[in-house]
Amino acid sequence: MNKELKLSALCMGMILATPAFAVDEPISPIEPAKEINLAQAELGKKLYFDPRLSKSGFISCNSCHNLSMGGTDNLKTSIGDKWQRGPINAPTVLNSSLNLAQFCDGRAADLKEQAGGPIANPGEMGFTHQLAVDLLQSIPGYVKEFKLVFGEDNITIDEVTQAIAEFEKTLVTPNSDFDQWLLGDKEALSADALAGYKLFKESGCVACHNGPAVGGNSFQKMGVVEPYQAKSPAEGLSAVTGKDADRFMFKVPTLRNVEMTYPYFHDGEAETLTEAVDVMGRLQLGKKFSDAENAQIVAFLKSLTGDQPSFQLPILPPSVDNTPQPTPFD
């Protein structure tokens, strides 16, 4: 083998064998969305923004998972049909395709299963799957698009949730400062953020907040060292498994874009990152971070804000004469 060929083979080997980012880090970069069915995602985007999927005609997926605001509503707990106060802080939809399960208690296996939940939840969108499908079926613009995308004349809730889930798969946020650092740009992080990352690893935060989403991949007890006095009645995984041992086991939230997803915890009681870091340190790790340490960890957390999803606001196909009317005040 001549020298050029050897070098070439060596380079190919390096490309194949070596990821572009630091393999010894517990966090890996967010990857851009792949293998997206674009037609489904475009339809799903419309559905995601369509308040006609609620009883009132006023609440859409985007109302509580607002893509202008980090995929959340930035409220302690969400506002549902007739201004009902929800029991839980709305988790971000950003990067939610990376979660091991959906909802903070993991009661939906995936995004498709999740998408049907709020539509039919009396405290959220207050509708039913049947009414949602009937409504869509009355709108010629939707009938045509569902036919194009799924090849069927009759719209099903399965297609509705599939399309919404496909759109949600596009909502990843690559290219944060931290990911640029992981990918080799050593100037991408400030000294404070880098010190914060070191603390984040050494103090044990990373035991739960790891992987590409910096969380989202395990259930953990909230209140390991000291119990958490929650303002929410939610008890986490035990609501799904029925096991007492699973009480207060919650899906570890992603920390991606955490600067935008305030307030924090499943009851939304921590208003600032400073407070969230302090509580987590004490309750989960038995550790009191100094103000300087806390600020460094917060600087690291802010480096996790990635490119926000960028797309045209969808224009919804209009209702027609026989489309069922919304009933916000009944």
* Residues near a copy of itself (CB under 8 A): 46, 49-52, 56-58, 63, 66-70, 73-75, 79, 82-83, 85, 259-260, 262-263, 271-274, 308, 310-316, 318-319, 321, 325-326, 328-329
Query: Left if phi > 0, otherwise alpha if psi is -120 to 50, otherwise beta: which for 304?
Result: alpha
Residue with smaller CB distance to a copy of itself, 75 or 239 = 75
Shortest distance in whole angstroms from residue 249 CB to a copy of itself: 28
Q: Is 166 a catalytic residue?
A: no
What is the rounded distance in angstroms from the CA atom of residue 217 to the CA atom of residue 79? 27
Beta strands in 6-155 (DSSP E): 79-80, 84-85
Reference 274, options 292, 249, 254; nearest CA is 292
Determine the Cα–Cα distance for residues 20 and 37; give it in Å rounded to an integer.
27
**Selection from 196, 330, 220, 327 nearest residue 274 by Cα:** 196
DSSP-derived secondary structure for 130-180: HHHHHHHHT-HHHHHHHHHHH--SS--HHHHHHHHHHHHHT------HHHH
Q: Which of 124, 145, 168, 269 is catalytic?
A: 124
Nearer to a copy of itself, 113 or 275 (CB): 275
Give the position of tokens 């039919």. 120
Q: Which sequence positions are flagged as catalytic?
A: 124
